[in-house]
Amino acid sequence: MVVVTAKQLDEIVHMLAGRRRVLLLGCNTCAAVALAGGDREVETMIQALQLAISRRGMTVEFVGGVLQRQCEPEYVEAMDAEDIDAILSLGCGAGVAMLAAQTGIPVYPALDTLFIGAAQGLGSWRAECSACGSCVLGETAGICPVTRCAKGILNGPCGGVNDGECELGDRPCAWVEIHERLESQGRGASFAHENPPKDDSAGEMYQWDLSAKGGSR
């Protein structure tokens, strides 16, 4: 899922200056699961913004709502945005983009979109995928070197590995983990070859806006 986190209130208040009636819109898919964009966060952020706005002597009216998924045009079309002069989206970047494209009113992000991640327990996720467009996980025992290796190299480990730790000192070496897991699955020999450089043009094979892969950035 897409992992998101709330922006600082200052930044949001700054974006909303001069607005009269703002819809805070949550997204009940990834953003809700990431504990940053569900109904609860919409309600909490409305209260926080009201406090912030009143302390600055501003008046903005806030209303709250949640879409099942902001990144689907059908959900956006079914939304009631009457008498709203701006939307503050508590969705990921894709949600903000869809809302902006569909509604014709200014849409602002209340969240920063961080990564595609997997849950590690309550309120904790780890980046597992960088959406590169040409997946190698089959060869790397399900550990993504593009995401988990600091350098994103396709053939590792590099010379900076020290006792299984990355030279940055803040994470295990992804390549050591890849080799260990391959070994444990009896696939140790499968990485005897070198991986060629990744084809970052993979997405360009398609027209960009029709691409199912997202494509090169």
SS3 content of the chain, % helix, strand, coil (to 5): 35, 20, 45
Binding residue (CB under 8 A) for other proteins from 5, 15, 39, 176 = 39
Q: Can you give 43-95 as a three-state secondary structure string?
A: HHHHHHHHHHHHHCCCCCEEEEEEECCCCCHHHHHCCCCCCCCEEEEECCHHH
Q: Which of residues 147-206 bind other proteins (CB under 8 A)?
A: none
Q: Which of 148, 153, 180 is nearest to 164 (CA)?
A: 180
User: Which of 8, 169, 192, 197 forms a contact with other proteins (CB under 8 A)?
Assistant: 8
Of residues 41 through 60, those in contact with other proteins by CB under 8 A are 41, 43-44, 46-48, 50-52, 54-55
165 DSSP assignment: B
What is the closest distance, in whole angstroms, from the C-beta atom of residue 175 to other proteins in the complex?
31
Note whether 120 binds other proteins by CB under 8 A: no
- Region from 30-38, 78-86, 125-133, 208-216 binding other proteins, contact rule CB under 8 A: 30-38
Binding site for other proteins (CB under 8 A): 8-10, 28-29, 32-33, 35-41, 43-44, 46-48, 50-52, 54-55, 66, 119, 121-123
